[in-house]
A and B are shown apart, each in its own frame.
Chain A
Amino acid sequence: MTRRGIRGAVAVAGIAETTYYKHGKSPDPEFVLALKAILGAAADAGIDPQDIDGFASYSNDRSDPSRIAAALGIRELRFSNMHWGGGGGGTAAAVANGAAAIAAGFADCVVVFRALAQGQFRRFGEALPDRTVSGNAAFLSPYGVMSPAQHYAMRATRFMHEYGVRNDALRAIAMASYAHAQNNPRAIKYGQPLDEATYDQSRWIVEPVNRLFDCCQENDGAAALILVPAERARDLPHKPVYLLGAAQGSDHRCGAPVMNATNFASSSFTTVGRRVFESAGLTPKDVDVVQSYENFTTGVMMAVVEHGFCEPEETNDFFTLENLLAPTGKMPLNTSGGNLAECYMHGLGLQLEAVRQIRGNSSNQVPGAKVAINIAGPMVTPVSSVIVGCEEALA
């Protein structure tokens, strides 16, 4: 039997995002944001948007593919896919699902997209003012545990206790994102640098791990990415960015009720981190630049560790600002500013940034970057990762 996989079979041909807005500030309805991003990605790919024949998204995106297909006049809808799970855990998986459809011959041109307009809909960071709760929430909400920040703080606090991780590691992650955003005019935090004192003095959201600057923004906007078969990508305007490997899922009983995951002190990546590298035939040493979804800096820290970039005991030494900054750091991280400082595009902005790095046109370009990894949605389940690279990385 031949080796199964998507390595080299599918490429990203086009990317686009709308203007990014503070939450609630989009002048456009959410559906319009989705349309604009998709049209932009088609234009970037040099294709007719009516040639799109597949859609992949995640986290229950509200823009229905059949409505988009009708709105755009798409000739034939051949693939529509929603990845289960909340948060950004499906960001990389949506890319992989779209690529799998192309590799399987179900579709020839899949757009991966995400649109958010939180003025039209509710925010993520505040619970509904429920009077009664049942099921899993009945064991958490009455004790004042309702938000993602709180659910994941329990995991991170235990992880940091087990391995002696200091909050300085989290500060370095936040500062790297803000530093990168200063060179990125798309970023919401462009022109708003972050220094150590401002971080240290920022208010606690959830002590002892989440200060204000450890938490992602909430924003309005949309982003999209066009996938085509590798051979077609070679005839399109941009340098193809190939999928090298992908994995999604989580380990034993990660979603057990009342926070009873077997491996609780984890970002949920212990299995996925290993498999994404196996599927690409690569190791962390082969990666030139890392995009790692920041719901919270704790998730970035644990996810990078669980992908094998450093041992958990080395976390304090590894996560320094110097190591995380492009272009010279050992492991340039979140080079667009990411969810913390570019835009909380539910992680899809990080996917676009990985494509820019491989194309060579990031605003914080890592010189000669050939391989980039996207780590999506730490601490939720399922989580996902994808590795992309240039033609040379396929050799």
Chain B
Amino acid sequence: MNSTSYLPSGMPAPVPAADGLDAPYWEGVLQGKLKVQRCSHCGTWQWGPEWLCHACNSFELAWEEVPPHGLIYSWQRPWHPVHPALRGFGPYLVVMVELPHAGGIRMVGNLLGPVDQTVQIGAPVTAVFERHDDALTPYALVHWRTAG
């Protein structure tokens, strides 16, 4: 486990879906790239991953790299431990980040920095890739940090 991970070791580790739906995302984040779905037919952005475009129902969905920044759309500071690995750890910060340059799709990650910081909805944030190379299936998480 990465010694600098935001949450303690023992948290559930993400593995790509067995059906292959989200494989390009997980491959991308290991390379420090944020890739999301975009319809090759009508151009609609889509997140989370699905097999077809919700706007035009085309199955021709491409994975497009997007600039790794966005705006805080919502947030929370959980205190109650919902997993054994979190007992005695919290609180921590979670943000939902909107990507206006990708059709306003939203992602969820931890907000790095002091846990007692004031979180402003609408504030710009930048992605921080947190690698977990020693996991059985190596992966990277996408956290966020308030942009300068």
Q: Which residues of A contact B (CB under 8 A)?
A: 125-127, 129-147, 149-150, 153-155, 157-158, 161, 203-209, 253, 256-260, 264-265
State which of B48, B49, B82, B137 has its C-beta within 8 Å of the C-beta of A150: B82
12 more contacts with CB within 8 A, not counting A136-B48, A142-B14, A207-B79, are A129-B84, A129-B85, A138-B16, A139-B14, A140-B108, A141-B11, A142-B11, A143-B110, A154-B76, A157-B76, A208-B77, A265-B74
B-side contacts of A135, CB under 8 Å:
17, 22
Q: Is A258's CB under 8 angstroms from B106's CB?
A: yes
- B80's nearest neighbour on chain A, judged by CB, is A205
Seen from chain B, the residues whose Cβ lies within 8 Å of a Cβ on chain A are: 7, 11-18, 22, 47-50, 54, 73-80, 82-86, 91-92, 94, 96, 105-110, 121, 136-137, 141, 143
**CB nearest to B130 among chain A residues:** A142
Chain B minimum-CB-distance residue to A136 = B48
From B15, B79, B84, B143, contact of A206 by CB (8 A):
B79
Structural contact, B108 and A259, CB atoms closer than 8 A: yes
Task: Establish whether residues B82 and A144, one from each chain, have CB atoms under 8 Å apart when the complex forms.
Answer: yes
Q: Are B48 and A258 in contact (CB under 8 A)?
A: yes
Asked if A141 contacts B75 (CB within 8 A), the reply is no
A227 and B80 CA atoms in complex are apart in Å by 41
| Contact A142 B105, beta carbon cutoff 8 Å | no
- Asked if A134 and B16 sit within 8 Å, CB to CB, the answer is yes
Could you tell me the distance in whole angstroms from the C-beta of B14 to the nearest C-beta in chain A?
4
A192, chain B: closest CB distance, angstroms? 21
Chain A contacts of B78 at CB under 8 A? 144-145, 150, 205-207
**A257's contact among B14, B50, B79, B85, by CB below 8 Å, is which?**
B50
CB of A157 within 8 A of CB of B74, answer yes
A158-B74 in contact given A127-B82, A131-B12, A264-B106 (Cβ < 8 Å): yes
Is A132 a contact of B15 with CB atoms below 8 Å?
yes
Give Cα A157–Cα B73 distance, bound, in whole angstroms. Answer: 9
Q: Which one of B14, B17, B18, B50 has the greatest number of beta carbons of chain A within 10 Å?
A: B14
Query: Lowest 6 A-B CB distances belong to which pairs?
Result: A257-B48, A258-B48, A138-B14, A207-B77, A158-B74, A133-B12
Contact status B77-A139, CB under 8 Å? no
Give Cα distance in the complex from A129 to B81, angstroms. 12
CB distance from B91 to the nearest CB of A (A): 7
- List 6 A–B pairs whose Cβ atoms lie within 8 Å, in order of A's numbering: A136-B48, A139-B48, A142-B12, A145-B94, A155-B74, A258-B108
Q: Name the A residues within 8 Å of B17 (CB-CB).
A: 134-135, 138
> Which chain A residues lie closer than 8 Å to B80 at the CB level?
125, 147, 149, 203-206
Contacts of A145 in B (CB 8 A): 78, 94, 108
Residues in B with CB closer than 8 Å to A130 are 12
- Would you call A141 and B54 a contact (CB within 8 A)? no
Nearest Cβ on chain B to A156's Cβ, whole angstroms: 9
B32 to chain A, nearest CB (A): 17
Distance A125 CA – B143 CA, assembled complex (angstroms): 25
| Interface pair B86/A144, CB less than 8 Å apart | yes
Q: Are B106 and A208 in contact (CB under 8 A)?
A: no
